Amino acid sequence: MPPEYASRYARHHLIDWWDQGRLTGARILVAGAGALGNEVIKLLALLGVGHLLIVDFDRVEVSNLTRSVLFREGDIGAEKARTAAERAREINPEIEIDYLVGDLEFDVGLGVYRKMDVVIGGLDSIDARLALNRACLRMGVPWLNGGIEATLGEVSYFDGREGACFECAMSPEMWARRNQRFSCGGLRAEAEEAKVPTTATVASLIASYLVNEALCLLHVDSGRNKEGLAASQKLYLMLKPYGFYIYDLPRNPECLAHERWEPIAILTERPQELTVTALLQRLDARESALELGFDLLTVMRCHRCGQEESIFRPLERCGLTLTECPRCHAATRLPETLCRLEADSDYADYTLAQLGIPDYQVVTINTAGERRHVQLSGEYAP
């Protein structure tokens, strides 16, 4: 018997167009380890995709157990990303699986996305999808968006370069729902997003389409045109009654998300090792400014009693409860924020990590309107 037929992937080798070597060398980021993410991770592990990174900030709840194949009753309260990674290693110990417990926008550096062959989103938040979309567009990485409800699901393919993106397809109703979660000052409302009914059945189906699309992408350079969805297409699947539809998503010419960051210079120093001043000196850009790319909440100041509290977190990660003053108990505190710093700015002696910049982040240096992009921490290597 030839040795390839005695391997774990023996049945894959029987497929004439299959390239297991491409899968072994592939890097895929799975965003979200809930019901949909569980099925995606399971399938990628079975297929032998060589490098997986799982990102999720949440913990396992009892309601996950009916829809998430990788979770057990004893996992309740455990981190979803870590638990999913451990179970995926049990499925296939030959592949490399890493995880990150954190926020896709603020805890995953753009340099991580930049090294991925494809990103798969199994998310239940508009904010997270918007962040994932912009990250992939800036780094030119293709990504797949999945969504599920009780008896329907959808899969969209965005190539990270041309055509419509997820933000292009946002309806006014979606923007209204998203904006309801923030005050006029930018603080996040405490109310959770509405829970959506789902089942393991629809999660399995949509995950299968997502992973099949990833397979099509990974094989596209081996002398084959990409099969499946074209860029900026959405597959819509109904189970009750049965229905299968594919739509072309129109490009919005006013969409602000279409911004490719290139070229990118690489610095080996980590955010913990550089202050703003030191970074600008290192780049010989003393007359320039560092753009954070987000609003950093520095201080909450009470306009009744004058009490101040240093916060130093991205504004979008801060809730409305911060408006209440712990001294006078009046909801009179307002946020003070910044989004760019020069070498002589307040807080310029803070490290980049203190300002909320993670490892492998790509930062923007603005010199008289000219912007250049620099990646910290060297090249990401799983």
Domains of the chain, each with CATH number or no CATH: 3-248 (3.40.50.720), 264-375 (no CATH)
Which pLDDT value is given to residue 6? 72
pLDDT for res 3: 58
pLDDT reported for residue 197: 87
Cα dihedral across residues 171, 173, 176, 181: positive or negative: negative
Residues 6+ apart with CB under 8 A from 350: 275, 276
> What is the per-residue pLDDT for 223?
56
| CB count in 10 Å sphere of residue 265 | 11
Residues 103-147 pLDDT 10s? 999 999 999 999 999 999 999 889 999 999 999 999 999 999 999
Taking the chain (382 residues) in consecutive chunks of 10 residues, what is each chunk's mean pLDDT? 71 93 97 97 98 97 96 98 98 97 96 98 94 97 97 96 93 82 70 78 97 95 79 96 96 93 97 97 93 95 92 92 92 92 94 96 95 97 84
Over the stretch 63-112, which tens digit does the pLDDT of each residue have?
A: 999 999 999 999 999 999 999 999 999 999 999 999 999 999 999 999 99
Q: What is the DSSP letter of 190?
A: S
Phi/psi-derived region of residue 174, left when phi > 0, alpha when psi is between -120 and 50, beta in every other case: alpha
Span between the terminal Cα atoms of the chain, in Å: 35
Q: Say how far apart CA 155 and CA 171 lie, in whole Å.
A: 17
CA distances from 374 to 133, 137, 319, 359 (A): 20, 16, 31, 12
pLDDT of amino acid 343: 92
Per DSSP, 62 falls in state G
Residue 62: Cβ-neighbour burial (10 angstroms; 0-12, 13-18, 19+): exposed
Amino acid at 61: E
Whole-number pLDDT of residue 224: 64
- Residue 355, φ and ψ in degrees, nearest 5: -90, 5
